[in-house]
Amino acid sequence: MSQADVAASNPFRRRLRRKDVTFKTKVRGANNEGKDNNSGNTDFALNDDYLWISYDFSIPLAWITDVGDLGPGFMVSWENPFEHVEEAAAFCVRTFFGYNRKRRDELVRRVREASQRAHTRPQPTVAAAAATIPRCQSCGATSPHQYDFQWMFSVGHLLMSKPDRRLLCPSHARWRARLVFASNLITSNLGFGFFISPIINLANVKEARKAGALGRFEAAFWITLGFFPYALIAWMLAWVVWYVIHF
């Protein structure tokens, strides 16, 4: 198996390229009531084999189990053969004052019809192979684990985040986790995102601890660094209180 084949062996991480899709738009993430969860816009695209719910988060259409309305938004559910669970993601289409339900109905129809067609055809080679013998997308080792990291970027009022789902062996998961930790420490604390960046960092550390990808000492180190913004806020509040009391 070539390095390119190994890198492309994760069906949840097919890169979204305009030339490869038949439909592409933007939607917003939604909560469990189908309402905007303020996570911002995300790519939503289709071709004959995959649905993209983010630039680099793809779902084989043959794995989709349900598509339907959820309040003013909609939900897509799919089977995850690596974790043996059913997963789901919710979205909505905003207008200035509310939600565009007509556009929502069109998207539900598109995904439902594409999924139904996909169930009548053989699965894409990557999806079929991954479901049978999962491999680390970095080295090709069998029996990898799924890791769901979260990448974050914040400058001033701008806040963006996206899922970073990887199929990795513990060794490569360790290095991917370190890269995500370091990147988030720099890119997520340049704006108002520093209020939530420690929480995302803690979730990433817990994810890296899965299957022993990260030791306790290193996990504690990254958690400590991740909570630095809260420590800084606490220090500033303490300084203000001290100043008010003494002056």
| Cα 208 to Cα 115, 171, 194, 205, distances in angstroms | 32, 11, 21, 5
pLDDT of residue 222: 92
Beta pairing class for 50-54 and 57-60: antiparallel
Q: What per-residue confidence (pLDDT) applies to 1?
A: 46
- Pull the structure tokens for residue 84: 């043996």
Those residues of the chain that have pLDDT short of 50 are: 1-5
For residue 6, what pLDDT is reported?
53
Cross-sheet strand order for the sheet of 57-60: 57-60, 50-54, 36-46, 23-30, 85-92, 73-80, 64-70
pTM of the model: 0.83
**β-strands 50-54, 36-46 pairing:** antiparallel
What pLDDT is attached to residue 214?
Answer: 92
Amino acid 153 reads F
Residue that has been written with the tokens 């806020």 in this structure: 233
pLDDT in tens, 24-36: 999 999 999 999 9
Distance set, CA 161 to CA 29, 41, 150, 231 (Å): 11, 10, 7, 23
Q: Can you tell me the distance from the alpha carbon of 49 to that of 246, in angstroms, rounded to the nearest whole number?
A: 67
d(CA 180, CA 166): 12
Q: What's the chain's length in residues?
A: 247
Burial of residue 118 (CB within 10 Å: 0-12, 13-18, 19+) is buried
